[in-house]
Amino acid sequence: MQTGMKLKAFYNKPFFKDGRFILYLWIAISVFMGIFNSLTGRLHNNYKIYKYVFLNIIEQFPLYQHRPQFFDDVNHYGPVFGVIMAPFALMPDLIGATLWLVFLAMVLYFAVKELPLKPWQHLAILLICTNSMIIAQTNVQFNTATAALIILSYAFIRKEKDCWAAFMIMLGTFVKLYGIVGFAFFFFSKHKPKLILCSIIWGVVFFVLPMIISSPGFIAGQYKDWFNELVIKNQGNGSALQQNVSFLGMIHKSTGNFEFSNLPTLLGALLLFALPYLRIREYRQDSFQLLTLASVLIFTVLFSTGSEPNTYIIALTGVAIWFVIQPRPYSGWSLFLIIFGIVISSFGPSDLFPGSLYRQVIRPYALQALPCTLIWLTIVYEMLFKKSDIYLTNPQK
Distance CA 283, CA 345 (A): 30
The amino acid that residue 41 corresponds to is G
pLDDT at 273: 97
Distance CA 244, CA 307 (A): 5
Over residues 144-157, mean pLDDT: 97
Alpha helix stretches (DSSP H) within the chain: 2-11, 20-39, 45-59, 80-89, 93-113, 119-138, 143-158, 162-176, 192-208, 216-237, 247-255, 263-274, 286-302, 312-324, 332-340, 355-357, 369-385
Model confidence over 107-128: pLDDT tens digits? 999 999 999 999 999 999 999 9
pLDDT over threshold 90, residue 19 = no
Confidence band of 241 (pLDDT split at 50, 70, 90): low
Confidence band of 13 (pLDDT split at 50, 70, 90): low
Lowest mean pLDDT segment, chosen from 69-73, 152-156, 317-321, 366-370: 69-73
The amino acid that residue 381 corresponds to is Y
pLDDT over threshold 70, residue 225 = yes
Confidence band of 396 (pLDDT split at 50, 70, 90): very low
* Alpha-carbon distances, residue 173 vs 77, 179, 213 (angstroms): 10, 4, 20
Distance CA 348, CA 52 (A): 31
CB 143 within 8 A of CB 314: yes
Model confidence over 339-386: pLDDT tens digits? 999 999 999 998 888 889 999 999 999 999 999 999 999 999 999 998
Closest CA to 92 of 38, 142, 45: 38
pLDDT over threshold 70, residue 388 = yes
Q: Is 326 helix (H, G, I), strand (E, B) or coil?
A: coil
Over residues 182-198, mean pLDDT: 96
Over residues 222-228, mean pLDDT: 93
DSSP code of residue 330: P
Q: What percent of the chain has pLDDT over 90?
A: 72
Distance CA 181, CA 364 (A): 28
The amino acid that residue 396 corresponds to is Q
Confidence band of 395 (pLDDT split at 50, 70, 90): low
Q: What are phi and psi of 371, to 5 degrees?
A: -60, -40
What value, to the nearest 5°, has the Cα angle with vertex 20 and ends 14 and 22?
95
Confidence band of 237 (pLDDT split at 50, 70, 90): low
Q: Which long-range contacts (CB under 8 A, 24 or more apart) does 394-397 make?
A: 394/286, 395/116, 395/117, 395/118, 397/118
Distance CA 157, CA 192 (A): 10
pLDDT at 321: 97
Q: How many CB atoms lie within 10 A of CB 145?
A: 26
Confidence band of 212 (pLDDT split at 50, 70, 90): very high
Q: How many CB atoms lie within 10 A of CB 258?
A: 12
pLDDT at 397: 43
3-state secondary structure 130-168: HHHHHHHHHCCCCHHHHHHHHHHHHHHHHCCCHHHHHHH
pLDDT over threshold 80, residue 40 = no
Q: How many CA atoms lie within 13 A of 117 on its CB side?
A: 30
Distance CA 25, CA 90 (A): 27
pLDDT at 238: 54
**Which has the higher per-residue pLDDT, 288 or 45?**
288
pLDDT at 210: 96
The distance from CA 349 to its chain's CA centroid, rounded to whole angstroms, is 17
pLDDT at 156: 98
